[in-house]
Amino acid sequence: MQRKFLSNLVLLLVLNLIIKPYWIFGVDLQIQNLVGTEEYGFYFNILNFSFLFNIILDLGITNFNNRNIAQNNHLLHKHFSNIFVVKLLLLLCYFIITLSVGLVIGYDTQQIKLLVLVGFNQFLLSFILYLRSNISGLLMFRTDSILSVLDRVFMILLLSFLIWYPPTRQVMKIEWFVYAQTIAYLLTAFIGLVVVIKKSAFQGLHWNWPFSLMIIRKSFPFAILVLLMTFYNRVDSVFIERLLPKESGKMQVGIYASAFRILDAVNMVAYLFSVLLLPLFANMLKNKDRIVPLLRLSFTLVFTLSVGVAFISLGYRSEIMNALYPIHINETPAEFLLRISQASQLFGLLMFGFIAISSSYVIGTLLTANGNLKYLNLTAAFSMVVSIALNFLLVPVFQAFGSAIASVSSQFISAIIQIVLVVFLFRIEPNRAYILRLIGYVLGSVALVYGLKTIDANWMVLLSVTTFAMVLLAFALKLLDVRAILKLLRH
């Protein structure tokens, strides 16, 4: 299983590292710079609001289905046609609830129109993830890897033309960005649907009320978990926009989005671990295989990656933000410096959340595969309460920076509780030598970032040298072992 995990992880990473960085910096970033911080902040807030009710589109079916199909491949034919109908009904419920809440909290006509478009995109994305859960549940990881980047490929093709064609570049609208996503999701969903139909011997839609209730009942604990995690991970921009005066709220959301972009990008890499690990863990637990070797391997990989990224981001926060975000046309130099300064502070703090988030993608996935949804839900509920309370306390005083404190705090609380649960439930004996090596890597990373930064050289050169030095440090501490990895990939 370690070999299967590593070989498919390499493919996933290669595809995503080719496509998604260009999407983030060559497309998404360009859109924000063209439409402006406030306009993109307007979209970003609507997007995060739509995420809050995203669970209605799925009710935990995707995670339940991934685990279930991985352990019982023969059930795909029986489940697919019924779940397809359930997903369509959930779309109707999602629109009714989301638009109603939007109206209650005072969204105007322009916000509601954009919410309809973004909400439909959320449905398409949810449906794609459900289709992929069937494919990865069958352990067809290569096909799933291609689908994981296909929507971004279509978006890049569509939006690159709009960005670089002078007549459209000069009048870029955020709505065009949303329309391009809709087209890309529709094409990807169609291709994924064709694959699943072939594998499930699909013969038509069937509605079985008792069966649908059974699926929803079994999926419900997964739904609660996703709902709670979404609230404490995505509620920040909504609090910023609602708790601050209108104009400053829009600007602060836009600045928060600027800092959040890279965190969102690296989170995609950590998320890939959970995509592979959930069906693998579920299959291993069913067959009563030893789980600790794969758990340790995957946790070590995400820990070394996330700690390195967090400290490099903190050390070079100002340089990175200045490189990504130029001065806007109607912005004074003083306003630009203030915006970049605030974005840099947010970025340096938010990136530490990546350590907690990536750890949860490994540890939480094992708990999910083991069926420990009650513990995970209690953990997520506690983290959500902490996040909401801190947002109410800190946002009026510290604006977006206060929301970043709330976000990182709740993420670390969740990750620490999950680690304690895994150690207790799986009776894992703490390895002191391993823990000391992890601590050594953290301390060494701090020394490398700030030690090398004292050298008078181009910051991009220093960043590259620091990254390379961190990789060498991980090998020196035997957190990474080239021979062991190559041996696993060869066999």
Give 414-442 pLDDT, tens digit per residue.
999 999 999 998 888 888 999 999 999 99
Separation of alpha carbons 409 and 414, rounded Å: 9
* Angle (deg, nearest 10), helices 353-369 and 209-234: 160
Tally the C-alpha atoms within 13 A of residue 381's C-alpha that lie toward its C-beta.
9
Q: Closest Cα partner for 215 from 58, 450, 11, 441?
A: 58
Name the maximum alpha-carbon separation found in the chain: 70
Tally the C-alpha atoms within 13 A of residue 69's C-alpha that lie toward its C-beta.
25
CA 12 to chain centre: 15
CA 68 to chain centre: 23
**Between vectors from CA 337 to CA 335 and to CA 340, what angle results, nearest 5°?**
105
Q: Are the beta carbons of 136 and 279 closer than 8 angstroms?
A: yes
- Residue burial 78-112, b: 16+ Cβ < 10 Å; e: rest: ebbbbbbebbeebbeebbeebbeebeeeebeeebe
Sequence-ordered list of residues with C-beta below 8 angstroms from that of 17, at least 6 positions apart, any chain: 269
Q: What is the pLDDT of residue 326?
A: 81
Q: What is the pLDDT of residue 488?
A: 46
Q: Are the beta carbons of 287 and 316 closer than 8 angstroms?
A: no
Q: Are the beta carbons of 41 and 254 closer than 8 angstroms?
A: yes
Tokens in use for 438?
């992890």
Separation of alpha carbons 443 and 311, rounded Å: 10
Q: Which residues of the chain are modeled with pLDDT < 70? A: 1-13, 63-79, 81, 137, 139, 200-209, 211-212, 215, 219, 222-223, 226-227, 229-234, 482-491
Which amino acid would we find at residue 49?
A: F
Separation of alpha carbons 235 and 243, rounded Å: 12
Q: Are the beta carbons of 220 and 213 closer than 8 angstroms?
A: no
Q: What is the pLDDT of residue 491?
A: 42
Q: Closest Cα partner for 66 from 265, 274, 229?
A: 274
Tokens in use for 107?
């969204």
- Per DSSP, the chain holds a count of helices (H) and strands (E) of 21, 0
Q: Are the beta carbons of 131 and 160 closer than 8 angstroms?
A: no
Tally the C-alpha atoms within 13 A of residue 73's C-alpha that lie toward its C-beta.
7
Count of positions (residues) in the chain: 491
| Helix boundaries (H) for 370-458 | 373-398, 400-425, 432-452
- Count of CB atoms within 10 A of residue 128's CB? 23
